[in-house]
Structure 1
Amino acid sequence: MTVAVVGSVNMDVVARVPRIPGPGETLMATGVSRGGGGKGANQAVAAARAGGAPSVFIGAVGADADGDALRAALAADGIDISGLVTASAPTGVALISVSDDGENAIVVVAGANATVDRLADDQRALVAAADVVLAQLEIPVAGVLAAAAARAERAPFVLNAAPSSALAERGAGARLLAEVDVLVVNEHELRDILRGAGDDTEHELDAAVDALAAEVPALVVTLGAAGAVIAVGPERRQVPAFPASPVDTVGAGDTFCGVLAARLSGAGRRPQIDAIADAARVGAAAAAIAVARPGAQDAVPTAREVDALLGIIA
């Protein structure tokens, strides 16, 4: 059961700081590291390593050392990178500050990711062969829509609406929502999308979930330490989070999304709430392990580690 991930790939440059600096403030970092990142690549790694699913990654890097390193890292995880093209733009970069309490602030330079506004014939074939298709919004909307259009009839299209700005735009947001089978957002993204649709009401969480759930077949709202809420039609399901001691929250949501998609492969075009809840529970376990480790892709656990945590909790 193959997962096709269409999205971004970046070189993460991470500075460890005592706290996130304020506007105009300079802080001395306690260390710096470089590693694979980008929501798309993070989710592909999570699907393959923690979700245990054969994964295909479709995106773009530059003809530079960062691009070479990112290609090699994805291939080392067993991910099919035949759909990863080399663009004339440089490889994307994310500049990340991570504080001692695990919080982060991120600035992304899109670079080659901005060129993923269409799919070539071979890339469309990779998407069409997959059992589930996963995308995010760090590439142009046109590229995301191309991925949705290329999927097989049996394959659900899972969209992680992060960052949510594109989905919050009227017109573009409506076109994207019309293609979605499972939408994954956090609480901030949930409210941002509703405001973009012209709903300026300050909803309580349950009412906000109801409002967005009316627009898509299935909705997953991640709530950090409060777990996740799943909505399919009138049905609601709460999935609790697993205990964790956060070291670095960068990529935790990506870990959740990648595992969720992997566990939905084979669930059919419109997964039922039980299947989504089961997949979300595994995703929550993987994310709990990931936040206790530094890095994005480096922090993703193995499927065996996730199964061990699930076995302990069960």
Structure 2
Amino acid sequence: MTNKIVVLGSLNVDQTLHVHRLPQPGETIKMTAQSSALGGKGANQAVAARRTGLAQTAFIGRVGADAAGKRLLHSLAAEQIDIQHIQVDPQQGTGQAYVLLQDSGENSIIIYGGSNQALTTADVQAAHSLIQAADFLIAQCEIPLAVIAEAFAYAQQVNTRTILNPAPVVPQLPAEILEHTDLICPNETEAQALTGISINDEATLVQCTQALYQLTQACSVITVGDKGAYLVAKDISPQLIPASAVPVVDTTAAGDTFIGAMVSQLQPDFKNLVAAVRFACQASALTVQSLGAQPSIPTYQAVQASYS
């Protein structure tokens, strides 16, 4: 079965600044290199869903009437992602992300929202038929929260499953979003901000995941970097799915790859959640071994080959 996935989210061009380490306050350091790649959490997740699971993927979003916007539209179309509901905004420029990439592979990211922040509930309403025909609707927090709330409420009316990636983190997510979320997937930093529980070991990870489940009443999957992902869901035993030990080059888009890959494999009743999370961990492990956001997202064939 091929999943039908709609991604509601952000489209950015990433400018990556390669540095040995982050500067201290008041310090000036040299870049070792710079590079540019297509990104945005929404776009990354859509590409991951399409590449890793061959899912029928469509996008709701906005780009600017500029070269960056044209580049993003062309790239998504080349990935065979439906771009009919990506509006070209004549007033706001395309979103930008500035990535400080350290030699360790860890990154820090600064976002300029641009046209992503101009997305409206009317854009969602214009895509109702698209959402109704989908198995899953994925959203992140790089777009206005009111737009997510509108989309999730409608999705549940028409029995489309909703997946929330609460990133960048919003400590107090609106109840209108949480009550219409079927599965929430933060990383450990985001989970800590949502629950107030610091994750220091496996015991506190369990506490945090259970608190997240109580907060949302949704299935919860917390990604914990090179440790893997911990999940809590109805009728499934809480468990940690370990990640493969791999050399890390760049962690950009690892979380987005995880979500896109997981949803590409997930059944609408969530009964295969463990297998879908295991597949997503494998896909993310491939992503961190290459530079850039979308350039590092693997194909389904690459993920399958990595099991051997």
Q: Which TM-score band (shorter chain)? A: over 0.9
In structure 1, the gaps of 5 or more residues are none
Equivalent AA in structure 2 for residue 206 of structure 1: V
Residue 73 of structure 2 is matched in structure 1 by 71
Whether 1:9 and 2:11 are equivalent positions in the alignment is yes
Q: Is the 8 A contact 2:199 2:205 kept in 1?
A: no
Distance 1:200 1:188, change over 3 A: closer
Percent pairwise identity: 36
- Please tell me whether residue 301 in structure 1 is matched to residue 298 in structure 2: yes
Give the alignment's TM-score, normalised by structure 2. 0.92
Alignment partner for residue 130 of structure 1, among 131, 134, 140? Answer: 134
Q: C-alpha separation between the residues in 2 aligned to 1:151 and 1:302?
A: 28
How far did 1:53 drift? 0.6
Residues 147-158 of structure 1 mapped to structure 2, 5 A cutoff: 147-151=151-155, 153-158=158-163
| Post-superposition offset of 1:201 | 11
- TM-score, scaled to structure 1: 0.91
Shift of 1:242: 1.4
1:83·1:123 contact (CA, 8 Å) conserved in 2? Answer: yes
Which of 140, 150, 157 lines up with 1:146 in the alignment? Answer: 150
1:174 CA displacement: 2.1
- Displacement of 1:10: 0.4
| Correspondence for 1:93 | 96
1:237 to partner: Cα distance: 2.1
Distance in 2 of aligned mates of 1:92 and 1:142: 19
Tell me the secondary structure at the aligned position of residue 11 of structure 1. strand
Alpha-carbon shift at residue 225 of structure 1 (Å): 1.0
Mapped contact 2:65–2:88 kept (Cα < 8 A): yes
Read off the aligned partner of 1:107 and give its amino acid letter.
I
Which position in structure 1 is the counterpart of 2:167?
Answer: 162
Distance in 2, matches of 1:287 and 1:205, equals 20
Structure 2 stretches lacking a partner, 5+ long:
none
SS, match of residue 107 in structure 1: strand
Aligned match of 2:206? 206
Residues 1:225 and 1:201: Cα distance change in structure 2 (over 3 Å): closer
51 and 26 in structure 1: CA distance in 2 versus 1, 3 angstrom threshold: farther
Identify which range, 230-239 or 104-113, moves more after superposition.
Answer: 230-239
Where has structure 1 moved over 4 Å in runs of 4 or more? 199-203
1:100-139 residue CA offsets vs partner (Å, 9 max, x unmatched): 1101111000000001131434322212211111111110
Task: After TM superposition, list the pairs within 5 Å mapping 1:1-314 onto structure 2.
Answer: 1-87=3-89, 88-120=91-123, 121-151=125-155, 153-165=158-170, 168-169=171-172, 172-195=173-196, 204-214=204-214, 215-233=216-234, 235-264=237-266, 267-268=267-268, 270-272=269-271, 275-310=272-307, 312=308
Letter in 2 for 1:74: L
Say how many residue pairs are matched. Answer: 299
Q: SS state of the match for residue 105, structure 2? A: coil
User: How far has the Cα of 1:22 moved from its partner?
Assistant: 2.3
- How far does residue 175 in structure 1 lie from its aligned partner after superposition? 2.0
Distance 1:62 1:23 in 2: 33
The CA deviation string for residues 177-199 of structure 1, in whole angstroms up to 9 with x for no partner, is: 1011010011111110113xxx7
Distance in 2 (CA, whole Å) between partners of 1:200 and 1:49 is 34
What is the deviation of 1:206?
1.5
